[in-house]
């Protein structure tokens, strides 16, 4: 802040000796100020006032503080991203045709239910579900451990056939048990099923049902579940499959339903939307990550 010169003694009234001393002192001060200003300007790349005016010993500390803050911010963003990526798959209804003993028949306690290829019936039944060959790959993760692979869990998968019917329930296939099976997850949390692409039946978006159990013993005794949910199939894959022979009724059904109006996926489906690769003629692969 500029000084009020009216409050200071007039230096031109103090004599020649004082004048000479004052002149020397001012030149020294101006020289020092010029040197300091040059050093500050040379050392400052950003041109901010704070950097220019700060002593050289303070600038590195400020830089370190900025770096630390940036690092903390990045770490926080990384943690937030990891948390979002590890969102548990939603709990959903098993629907009216679960076959797990909760609504009528129980296929889980039958010998032969633990299998990868679920296209054919087992036991005393002998039917085979026709349709576009499809591999289902579900990766089970433990959400309490940062979505680490959950090894040793058991997944029970079931879905309708290409006519929109469920084995064990629909009148003409109530004696069949195809398109139902259990698999235990590998060390990487993966379970794999060989099946067919399901139909779109009236009122529902094309989907598959599954239940996750803590282990194989719990699954085959219809014990406590970790999660019951459903996966959604993307429309582009459905459109291609439903143009194939045997799926004609699915075309009309799909045109009358959307993901937003579906009674399961209508409240959100981001974590339940499967990825589908492959071709109708060569076979499709349905992939989904299942954090529980």
Q: What is the pLDDT of residues 175-227, one digit of tens each?
A: 999 999 999 999 999 999 999 999 999 999 999 999 999 999 999 999 999 99
Which candidate, 218, 222, 146, 212, places its Cα nearest to that of 185?
212
User: Among 157, 189, 180, which Cα is nearest to 290's?
Assistant: 189
Pairing status of strand 207-213 against strand 154-158: antiparallel
Low-confidence ranges of the chain (pLDDT < 50): 1-84
Supply the pLDDT for residue 39.
35
Strands 283-291 and 133-142: parallel
> For 194, which DSSP code?
E
H helix intervals, 173-272: 216-220, 235-241, 248-255
Rg (CA), the chain: 36
The residue to which tokens 């084995």 are assigned: 167
Please tell me the predicted confidence (pLDDT) of residue 1.
Answer: 38
Q: How far is residue 109 from each of residues 123, 125, 140, 216, measured CA to CA in Å?
A: 12, 15, 22, 11
Q: Write the CA distances from 11 to 3, 19, 32, 51, 183, integer angstroms.
A: 15, 7, 22, 35, 99
Token output for 159: 């879905």
Give, in order, the Cα–Cα distances in Å from 95 to each of 27, 92, 260: 92, 9, 18
Give Cα separations from 118 to 92, 157, 215, 279 (angstroms). 22, 9, 20, 20
Angstrom CA distances, 72 to 60, 75, 83, 85, stand at 18, 5, 16, 20
d(CA 289, CA 286): 11
Contacts of 103 (CB under 8 A, 6+ apart): 94, 96, 97
**What is the pLDDT, as a whole number, of residue 35?**
40
């Amino acid at each position: 802040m500029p000084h009020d010169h009216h409050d200071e003694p007039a230096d031109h009234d103090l004599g020649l000796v004082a004048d000479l001393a004052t002149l020397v002192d001012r030149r020294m001060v101006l020289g020092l100020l010029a040197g300091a200003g040059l050093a500050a300007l040379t050392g400052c790349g950003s041109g901010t006032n704070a950097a220019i005016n700060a002593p050289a010993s303070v600038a590195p500390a400020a830089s370190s503080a900025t770096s630390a803050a940036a690092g903390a911010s990045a770490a926080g963003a990384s943690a937030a991203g990891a948390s979002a990526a590890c969102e548990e798959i939603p709990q959903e209804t098993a629907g009216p045709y679960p076959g797990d003993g909760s609504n009528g028949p129980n296929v889980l306690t039958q010998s032969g239910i633990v299998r990868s290829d679920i296209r054919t019936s087992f036991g005393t039944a002998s039917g085979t579900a026709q349709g576009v060959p499809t591999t289902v790959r579900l990766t089970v993760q433990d959400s309490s451990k940062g979505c680490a692979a959950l090894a040793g869990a058991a997944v029970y998968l079931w879905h309708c056939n290409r006519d929109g019917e469920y084995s064990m329930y629909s009148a003409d296939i109530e004696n069949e048990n195809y398109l139902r099976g259990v698999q235990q997850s590998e060390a990487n949390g993966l379970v794999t099923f060989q099946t067919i692409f399901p139909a779109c039946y009236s009122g529902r978006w094309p989907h598959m049902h599954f239940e996750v159990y803590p282990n194989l013993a719990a699954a085959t005794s219809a014990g406590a579940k970790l999660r019951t949910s459903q996966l959604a199939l993307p429309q582009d894959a459905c459109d291609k499959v439903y143009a194939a022979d045997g799926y004609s009724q699915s075309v009309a059904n799909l045109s009358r339903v959307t993901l937003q109006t579906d009674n399961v996926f209508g409240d959100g489906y981001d974590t339940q939307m499967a990825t589908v690769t492959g071709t109708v003629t060569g076979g499709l692969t349905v992939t989904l990550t299942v954090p529980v």
